[in-house]
Amino acid sequence: MKNIVCLDGFTLNPGDNSWEDIEALGTFTTYDRSTGGEDEVIERAKQAHVLLTNKTPVTAAVIDACPNLEGIAVLATGYNVVDIAHARQKGIPVMNVPVYGTDTVAEMTFAHILNLARNVSVMSADVRGELGWTNNIDWCYWLSPQIELSGKTLGIIGFGNIGRRVGEIAAALRMNVVAHDRFVSTTPAYPHEMAELDEVIARADFLTLHCPALPDTISFLNADKLALMKPTGFLINTSRGQLVVEQDLADALNGGRIAGAALDTLQREPPEADNPLLTAKNCVITPHISWATRDARQRITAVVATNIRSLLAGRPENVVN
């Protein structure tokens, strides 16, 4: 029996997502978290034939300390937590879960867009507040402009599976869709327009990010790019926190140069207490939950089981290195 070790399984399975498909493939050990540093990771991983990780770094030192290691399965799409070059040098395939959350992330993107447009969470809290609805002389009131999405322009940066699905929802809501992607491989049937990056940023009433963190995308949304946005424009990021220069975004929000932002991801997670976005004006932040529906997590588990099964059969799938 092969030893299968999961270094940080809690977020994938906090108790509502069975491991049984993976347990059937070998002797399975899972840890909720491995936050004690590299020595702890090595101690837990050293007997593994298959190593599973979500956000725990699998460094060259960890790989070298695992003499039986045959494969590394990432419990996500992003695989930057693994030293894939070193794994490749040692002939160890690294496998990811390439498509599992298209609908889930797109729906969360629109949860944020709708909340920015109608201020649902703030209004709900105000209704229950000391000076809320019961003390208002009018039968209705609002604390911020109520924005209709129909006819507004949604700018999408990154037009892969998730970006295209976001555009499809936007088109159904009669929004104008304008997108930028240097590597468009599929053209959706719904009305949309492709444009250069700066044009998308400048035209968008709502600007949403759906691209990976690569050397040429990290920190691309800086003060200069934010200055192109409409002062009435909103930013949504359910992709990667590394895309945005956080201090520049906080400055733009606090200075009223853009109308608001909704973020599901930050550069560092959990964030430091002094992260400027935690106190920025008109900034809604959720704790990286766009991916986290039970449906999506079950799909991840199923694909990981398939990846391990294929590895043990000598035909590894979804190999990224």
- Kindly list the catalytic residues: 240, 269, 288
Q: In what order do the strands lie in the sheet with 71-74?
A: 27-30, 3-6, 50-53, 71-74, 94-95
Alpha helix segments (H runs only) across 74-160: 84-89, 102-118, 120-127
What DSSP element (H or E) covers 42? Answer: helix 38-45
Query: Are the CB atoms for 17 and 297 separated by under 8 Å?
Result: yes
Query: Are the CB atoms for 279 and 48 separated by under 8 Å?
Result: no
- Amino acid in the structure at residue 252: A
Query: Are the CB atoms for 119 and 142 separated by under 8 Å?
Result: yes
Tell me whether residue 204 is exposed, middle or buried, using C-beta atoms within 10 angstroms of its C-beta: 0 to 12, 13 to 18, 19 or more.
buried
Alpha-carbon distance of 94 to 307, in angstroms, equals 10
Instruction: Please give the torsion angle defined by the CA atoms of residues 77, 78, 84 and 88, in that order, rounded to the nearest 10 degrees.
Output: 20
Phi, psi (deg, nearest 5) at residue 271 = -75, 160
Q: Which residue has the tokens 């937590």?
A: 81
